[in-house]
């Protein structure tokens, strides 16, 4: 997951909080100059969090860190409207680098007096109705886990049709080619899908036998997809 947003909105603090303080941060004078990295396990899924710098001239790093991201947590400083334009500029980059990637907005710094509520942030940033904007605070921990879980739930919803077909052929002899037939995938697309799934630890694949096995967390998530929204 990519954790990005405007300068000083709280991206590094979000990564730190969500990974239980066990994150790494490459910064200078309290501003990120390379990246933040943290890890968190949710319902058996390992989530890797990559935080970007926020300063304008680090666009190239935001582009590099965007590569391969499955989802975006976009952090906004709700307490300082003077930073809105910068945040919008970073958002235009995300639109460019990750146009179709699922996104959740964090209206951060809700603990600050006078911070704009999520509904106002939604308006100011012209965020579509079906995209979640969640009021958060890295000081109190407000809704941070919820924000990540909301993003995961949306991602699971997106891949559920694919996972449902996969689960039909899970562990079956010739499962890979049966899956490919059902999806009308050629060999190249089938390999691409399985490589994507394997890299994320969602499946184990035995190419010689043509068999794959779904990882247990994926199976249980398919059975109880609403669990992901319950906070830990």
Ligand X SMILES: Nc1nc2c(ncn2[C@@H]2O[C@H](COP(=O)(O)OP(=O)(O)OP(=O)(O)O)[C@@H](O)[C@H]2O)c(=O)[nH]1
Compute φ and ψ for 213, nearest 5 degrees: -125, 130
Residue among 19, 32, 66, 150 that touches ligand X (CB under 6 A): 32
- Rg of the chain over Cα atoms, rounded to whole angstroms, equals 19
13 binds ligand X (CB under 6 A): yes
Residue of this chain nearest to ligand X (CB atom): 54
Of 108 and 150, nearer to ligand X (C-beta) is 108
Place of tokens 């559920």: 160
103 binds ligand X (CB under 6 A): no
Distance CA 101, CA 66 (A): 10
Of 7 and 179, nearer to ligand X (C-beta) is 7
The answer to whether 185 touches 148, Cβ cutoff 8 Å, is: no
Q: Which stretch binds ligand X (CB under 6 A): 8-16, 39-47, 60-68, 165-173?
A: 8-16
12 binds Mg ion (CB under 5 A): yes
Q: What does the per-residue mask of binding to ligand X show for 139-178, with x meaning CB under 6 A?
A: x---------------------------------------
Kindly give the residue spans of alpha helices, DSSP state H, lying in 98-205.
Answer: 118-124, 144-168, 175-183, 187-199
Q: Supply 37's token pair.
A: 């990295």
111 binds ligand X (CB under 6 A): yes
Q: Which stretch binds ligand X (CB under 6 A): 29-37, 94-102, 160-168, 186-194?
A: 29-37
Per-residue b or e along 183-208, where b marks 16 or more CB atoms closer than 10 Å to that residue's CB: eebeeeebeebbeebeeeebbebeee
Q: Residues 38, 191, 101, 32: is their CA dihedral positive or negative?
A: positive
Q: Which of residues 112-131 bind ligand X (CB under 6 A)?
A: 112
Q: Which stretch binds ligand X (CB under 6 A): 64-72, 94-102, 107-115, 202-210?
A: 107-115
Classify 213 as helix, strand or coil.
strand
8 makes contact, choosing from ligand X, Mg ion, none, with CB < 5 to 8 Å by partner type, with ligand X
Q: What does the per-residue mask of binding to Mg ion show for 103-142, with x meaning CB under 5 A?
A: ----------------------------------------
**Residue 57 DSSP symbol:** G
The answer to whether 30 touches 208, Cβ cutoff 8 Å, is: no
Residue among 137, 148, 180, 212 that touches ligand X (CB under 6 A): 137
The answer to whether 115 touches 8, Cβ cutoff 8 Å, is: no
Distance CA 95, CA 108 (A): 20
Q: Which stretch binds ligand X (CB under 6 A): 85-93, 132-140, 147-155, 169-177?
A: 132-140
Residues of this chain that interact with ligand X (CB under 6 A) are 7-13, 30-32, 53-54, 108-109, 111-112, 137-139
């Amino acid at each position: 997951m990519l954790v990005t947003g405007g300068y000083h909105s709280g991206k590094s603090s979000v990564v730190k909080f969500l990974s239980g303080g066990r994150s790494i941060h490459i910064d200078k004078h309290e501003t990120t100059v390379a990246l933040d990295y943290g890890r968190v396990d949710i319902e058996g899924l390992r989530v890797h969090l990559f935080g970007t710098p926020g300063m304008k001239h680090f666009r190239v790093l935001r582009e590099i860190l965007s590569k391969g991201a499955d989802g975006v947590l976009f952090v906004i400083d709700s307490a300082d409207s003077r930073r809105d334009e910068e945040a919008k500029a970073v958002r235009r980059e995300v639109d460019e680098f990750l146009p179709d990637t699922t996104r959740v907005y964090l209206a951060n710094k809700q603990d600050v007096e006078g911070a704009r509520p999520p509904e106002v942030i939604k308006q100011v940033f012209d965020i579509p109705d079906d995209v979640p904007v969640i009021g958060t605070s890295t000081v109190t921990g407000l809704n941070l886990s919820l924000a990540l879980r909301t993003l995961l739930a949306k991602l699971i919803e997106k891949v559920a049709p694919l996972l449902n077909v996969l689960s039909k052929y899970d562990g079956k002899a010739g499962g890979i080619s049966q899956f490919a037939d059902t999806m009308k995938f050629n060999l190249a697309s089938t390999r691409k899908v399985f490589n994507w799934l394997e890299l994320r630890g969602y499946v184990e694949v035995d190419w010689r036998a043509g068999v794959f096995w779904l990882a247990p967390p994926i199976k249980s998530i398919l059975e109880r997809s609403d669990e992901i929204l319950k906070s830990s």
